[in-house]
Amino acid sequence: MGNCIICGTPVDGEICESHEEDAVFEFRGTSASQLTPGRYYRGTVDGYADFGVFVDIGDHVTGLLHRSELDQRLESLDWEPGDEVFVQVLDVRDNGNVDLGWSIRQREREFRGHLIETADDEYRPEDLEDEGEDDTAAETVDESDDESPAAGELQAAATEETEPAAAEPAGAVSSSGSVATETAAASTPTTDDAETEAEEEPALKRTTVDAIENQVGSVVRLEGEITGVRQTSGPTVFELRDETATVECAAFKEAGVRAYPAVELEDIVALEGEVERHNGDLQVETESLDILEGEARETVVDRLESALEREARPDDVAPLADHDAVAAVEDGIADAATAIRRAVMEARPVVVRHGATADGYVAGAAIERAVLPLIREKHTREDAEYHYFERRPLDGRVYDMDAATNDVTSMLEARDRHGEQLPLVVLIDAGSTVESVDGYDLLSLYDAEALVIDDSRADGEITDAVSVAVAPSLAGADVSDVTSTALATNVAAHVNDDVRDDLEHLPAVSYWEETPEAYLELAREAGYDETGVSERREAVALEAYYQSYKDKRELIIDLLFGDGEDSDRPRNGDLAAHVSEQFRDKLETELETARENLTVEGVDGVTVSVLDTDAFTHRYNFPTTILLLDALHRSERDRADTYVTLGVGDDELHVRATADVNVRDLGDAIAEAVPHGGVSVVGGVDGHVEFLPGERDAVREAALEALGETLA
């Protein structure tokens, strides 16, 4: 009876059944039947076949790792014959064939224990080593017994003369407790010898992360900032950023035990280790890790900051097209692009929050298109783009406390559990009004940075709540002919100039009507006619409705950028045309119902069409109330010079008008007329009015009266 090497549970042997898969076994048996299915074994690549890889398990057994068991294409494996690998034994067949499975763990340190399996049992490595030493000692005694005492003494004397004592530093205490002096001196290199050794092994010169791809197998020295720390079941993984890129560095103390516990996020360090590839990713196997202080630290900090300043800010601002609203915020575009580029270089996640509308999704996709290549360039992990960029659609155009609390919870969990840095939160097509300030304040309490890009009429308070605000209304510009996509696409083009050509058709996609000719021309030059542009807008609008809280990254890419060259992906034009047809069918059905149920009233010379949005719309089907009211107003507004579409639900009121309406002023007038109606405005002057359901009729009448007085 023994104890499990991992959990300590009493077991027959060395490991309990529930932890067998956490240990790696070294096989010293002689036949396949002695293997234990389910266990992981150290093996050696024997060779390749069309259907998989042959792996030697120990000296006497060979198994097949079939290509169907791999997590990548067989051709992409970088294993060479003789390479050490780790595999799982899936099955041992009656004919002696061994079926192997893939192991995501490809280093011994990533397992929680190591055992040796023989023909009849398993052992701890140290137990077998001790047993071997005892056998050797016994053999020596037996040989001595055959000799005379004198011969034994002569042998001992010869051993003393020919085998010097192990070298110990002068003054060190030996195993017997005495001080090693003359022997140590005799075996310790002289000063001249030490100097010669130092000359032969000079200190490592610093290299940069972007240069290590060509140094696989070599030991390198890196200097930079720790931007991430996570503990795995094997090594501790540090993420190190220098002035060129970011790389993961694995450090091992014991399985699941934190290595270098004094090293934390934002420490400036010098690290030495061997460059390796781990599941396709570059990784440095850490041999030493030192926190830099004083002048050495300042040198690295200055180097990092200089590189950030040099690389992050665009040289100049060149808008995609002439557009007054965009020209009014050129400084903001440069500032926003700089903030996003800095976040990527500092290995901070970029979280994009955008409205769940066509404009919001297209604008968010523009930023995504620019940022993902930079992340791939700056990070050595192949899946980095899924860790350092995320789009999270918003339910409305306000960054409220619910959304902010969700983001703070996620970022703190990522920091505490995975050692990630705090993100840059980018608000697009949302978040530019005073109702979002509380959310930004919550982020700022944790030093999380936020910026906003929005075409709405923004509130001045927002400029103090975020680091950058790209909002033309704050610069006094007319925002009637600009969309959030037009603004975000210009930011994206300055985040990454390499994707500028990919983005040129996106502004036109975001306009439901009166698209500026400059953007239509850009779309035509990119190969998209007006039909292609409108189909993409309608398709994105429909897909934005379904699973509205998800980014639908691949689907949105296919709709906006897909070229159909891959046989398993549809052409984006075909896909957009198919989805947009569904959009038009669904929208037209709802419009017909809405038109039949409009109540048209004249108020002081103003024509107001009122739709009961709870009674005459399908609240949980496409289209949304907002999209329906927009389309309804566009189709009916020619009825009068001053025309208003009023959508009144159980607790919300939305207004669309041919003349300018300040919804805040409208809300104030309704609140004065219905003081106990719980009236509030959400979304600023372009927002909507909320109220208590019991005051619905009173709110409706107060709204009609206020509109008549305002617009007459």
Whole-number pLDDT of residue 704: 95
| Number of helical H runs and strand E runs in the chain | 22, 26
- Determine what percent of the chain is predicted with pLDDT higher than 90: 64
How far is CA 513 from each of CA 312, 481, 534, 634, rounded to the nearest angstrom? 36, 9, 10, 9
Mean pLDDT computed over 268-284: 90
How far is CA 62 from each of CA 33, 43, 58, 67, 116, rounded to the nearest angstrom? 12, 9, 8, 16, 17
The C-alpha atoms of residue 597 and residue 622 are separated, in whole angstroms, by: 18
The C-alpha atoms of residue 38 and residue 98 are separated, in whole angstroms, by: 12
* pLDDT exceeds 50 at position 174: no
Mean pLDDT computed over 396-425: 91
* 204-235 residues labelled b (16+ CB within 10 A) or e (exposed): eeebebeebeeeeeeebebbbbbbbbeeeebb
Query: In the 3-class helix/strand/coil scheme, how is 312-378 assigned residue by residue?
Result: HCCCCCCCCCCCHHHHCCHHHHHHHHHHHHHHHHCCCCEEEEEECCHHHHHHHHHHHHHHHHHHHHH
Do the Cβ atoms of 430 and 360 come closer than 8 Å?
A: yes
Do the Cβ atoms of 525 and 547 come closer than 8 Å?
A: no
- Higher confidence at residue 491 or residue 565? 491
Whole-number pLDDT of residue 362: 98
Kindly give, in sequence order, each residue whose CB lies less than 8 Å from that of residue 141, ignoring residues fewer than 6 positions away: none
* pLDDT exceeds 50 at position 139: no
Backbone angles phi, psi at 219, to 5 degrees: -90, 130
Of the pLDDT bands very low, low, confident and very high (cuts 50, 70, 90), residue 148 is: very low
3-state secondary structure of 484: helix
Summarize pLDDT for 351-406 with one digit per residue, the tens.
Answer: 999 999 999 999 999 999 999 999 998 887 777 888 899 999 998 899 999 999 99
Kindly give, in sequence order, each residue whose CB lies less than 8 Å from that of residue 456, ignoring residues fewer than 6 positions away: 397, 432, 433, 471, 473, 479, 683, 684, 686
Summarize pLDDT for 646-658 with one digit per residue, the tens.
Answer: 999 999 999 999 9
How far is CA 530 from each of CA 365, 370, 510, 524, rounded to the nearest angstrom? 20, 24, 12, 8
Nearest-5° angle of CA 54, CA 58, CA 62?
25
Instruction: List, in sequence order, every residue forming a beta bridge with 222; answer none if it has no partner.
Output: 271
Kindly report the number of other CB atoms within 10 A of residue 85's CB atom: 19
Mean pLDDT computed over 226-234: 88
Of the pLDDT bands very low, low, confident and very high (cuts 50, 70, 90), residue 644 is: very high
* pLDDT exceeds 50 at position 190: no
Mean pLDDT computed over 93-107: 88
Of the pLDDT bands very low, low, confident and very high (cuts 50, 70, 90), residue 180 is: very low
Domains by residue range for the chain, with CATH: 2-129 (2.40.50.140), 209-309 (2.40.50.140), 313-500 (3.40.50.10490), 597-711 (3.10.310)
Least confident span in 26-35, 176-185, 360-369: 176-185
Q: Give kind and range of the element (H or E) at residue 570.
A: none
- Determine what percent of the chain is predicted with pLDDT higher than 70: 88
Among 326, 384, 320, 323, smallest CA distance to 350 is for 384
The per-residue pLDDT of the chain, averaged, comes to 86
Nearest-5° angle of CA 352, CA 357, CA 359?
75
The C-alpha atoms of residue 263 and residue 274 are separated, in whole angstroms, by: 19
Summarize pLDDT for 526-560 with one digit per residue, the tens.
Answer: 999 999 999 999 999 999 999 988 999 999 999 99
Do the Cβ atoms of 509 and 559 come closer than 8 Å?
A: no
How far is CA 137 from each of CA 132, 156, 242, 259, rounded to the nearest angstrom? 9, 15, 54, 38
* pLDDT exceeds 70 at position 151: no
The C-alpha atoms of residue 24 and residue 111 are separated, in whole angstroms, by: 6
Least confident span in 92-101, 353-362, 434-443: 92-101
* pLDDT exceeds 70 at position 235: yes
Summarize pLDDT for 67-85 with one digit per residue, the tens.
Answer: 888 877 787 788 888 899 9
Among 507, 488, 472, smallest CA distance to 329 is for 472
Which conformational region is residue 205 in: left (phi greater than 0), alpha (psi within -120 to 50 degrees), or beta?
A: beta
Backbone angles phi, psi at 23, to 5 degrees: -110, 155
Among 497, 469, 480, 222, smallest CA distance to 339 is for 469
The C-alpha atoms of residue 276 and residue 287 are separated, in whole angstroms, by: 13
First to last CA, the chain: 94
Of the pLDDT bands very low, low, confident and very high (cuts 50, 70, 90), residue 202 is: low
Whole-number pLDDT of residue 331: 95
Of the pLDDT bands very low, low, confident and very high (cuts 50, 70, 90), residue 181 is: very low
* pLDDT exceeds 90 at position 129: no
* pLDDT exceeds 80 at position 570: no
Highest mean pLDDT, choosing among 21-35, 308-322, 593-607, 686-700:
686-700
User: CA torsion, points 376, 381, 387, 393, in degrees to nearest 10?
Assistant: 30
* pLDDT exceeds 50 at position 100: yes
Do the Cβ atoms of 563 and 571 come closer than 8 Å?
A: yes
Do the Cβ atoms of 492 and 464 come closer than 8 Å?
A: no
* pLDDT exceeds 70 at position 229: yes
Chain position carrying tokens 């965009």: 326
